[in-house]
Structure 1
Amino acid sequence: MLKSMIRAAAVTTLVAAGSLAVAPAALAQDTMKSDTGAMAGDMPMVGGAPMDPQKTIPENASQADNLTTLVAAVKAAGLVETLSGDGPFTVFAPTNAAFEKLPAGTVDDLLKPENKDKLTKILTYHVVPAKATSEAAMQMIKDDGGAHTVKTVEGEPITLRMDGDNLVVIDASGNGAVVTQADVMQSNGVVHVIDTVLMPKM
């Protein structure tokens, strides 16, 4: 079993795989509803679409206008079924604008069948095998003196830091992605939208 992202000190916001994280009270009130379902007006919006906390990560992401490149990449890599599983997962989701920051032609090359392994490596570098809210992440950063390292599904670590009030994710090359929208709850995890594509060592 992959190492959990959260230590025992953060059990109030993250519990063992297969269980639900406890979100901040206000967030929980805004995003979680009873078994009868949630009304769109009560759901967080990503890319102009409501994110249903009772749906999986791929189901919600496919509705967001600003995540279409990510969704296409997940499909090309054959990861839809994986990310539809029980999880729990924490996904740092790059927007279309984040992918546009890459050198010209990079996305088109990654989507080619012959580059599926490379694409899978990059995408799984954005996934942590646990469910962590931003509150939990910030507490770990504080507890660890300003930086907390987390192992991704890809196998390599990412580093979480704070830049003022912003939660920042640092990749293997030292490049930082700012979390622009945190704590978008899903039935099998949580999504944090980021403004830069994270790159593992290739």
Structure 2
Amino acid sequence: MKRTAIAMLSLATLLVAPLFARADEATATAEKTIVETAIAAKFNTLVAAAKAAGLVEALSGEGPLTVFAPTDAAFEKLPKGTVESLLKPENKDKLVAILKYHVVSGSVPAAKVLQLDSAKTLQGTDVTITQEGGAVMVNNAKVVKTDIECSNGLIHVIDAVLLPKE
């Protein structure tokens, strides 16, 4: 009887331990700001752009903010030389506008995003939210990962750079 109880306790420990590990990982992520999380997740181009635009402090602030974060591969889809041009000091205003177009005030988890057909960005204009073939789209960008919790908001990963209309 004792052996059965010990075996069952051991089995329960093996099954439950990974759940606690995942909870610890989520907590660790939630302790990082949007910028710290982006750095850790290797959103290198987005972080470089935020630095060049002078937005690191704002994206590290209290929030909450929701960021539709393009991957490095998303930035690579832009015409050759676009990113390099945007990172130049003389193009800072344009870069700021583009980056703010990826940010929504407040915490907007995926469940809420699904209920929206548009969202007002910090740039001042709206992004369009649709569902196509089971995928959620923000303008022309597909949402590929959702609800990355940060201490000051959320990140939703997208596969294209959002460009505001000029």
TM-score by length of 2: 0.84
Q: Which runs of 4+ in 1 moved over 2 A?
A: 29-33
Secondary structure of 1:62 counterpart? helix
CA offsets 1:22-76 (integer angstroms, 9 cap, x no match): xxxxxxx88995xxxx3xxx349xxxxxx711110001111122x1000000000
Residue of structure 2 in register with 1:118 after alignment? 94
Q: Answer whether contact 1:177 1:194 (CA < 8 A) is retained.
A: yes
Secondary structure, counterpart of 1:168 in structure 2: strand
Q: Does 1:164 find its partner at 2:128?
A: no
> Which blocks of at least 5 consecutive residues in structure 2 are unaligned?
1-18
Q: Which of the residues 81, 94, 111 maps onto 1:135?
A: 111
Change (3 A) 1:177 1:81: same
Instruction: Indicate the residue corresponding to 1:149 in structure 2.
Output: 118
Q: Equivalents in 1 of 2:151, 2:80: separation in Å?
A: 35
Quote the residue 1:69 is aligned against: 45
Larger of the two Rg values belongs to structure: 2
More helix by share: 2
- On the 8 A contact 1:58/1:71 being kept in 2, the answer is yes
Amino acid aligned to 2:121: T
Normalising by structure 1, we get a TM-score of: 0.69
- Retained in 2: the 8 A contact 1:30–1:43? no
- Percent identical: 51
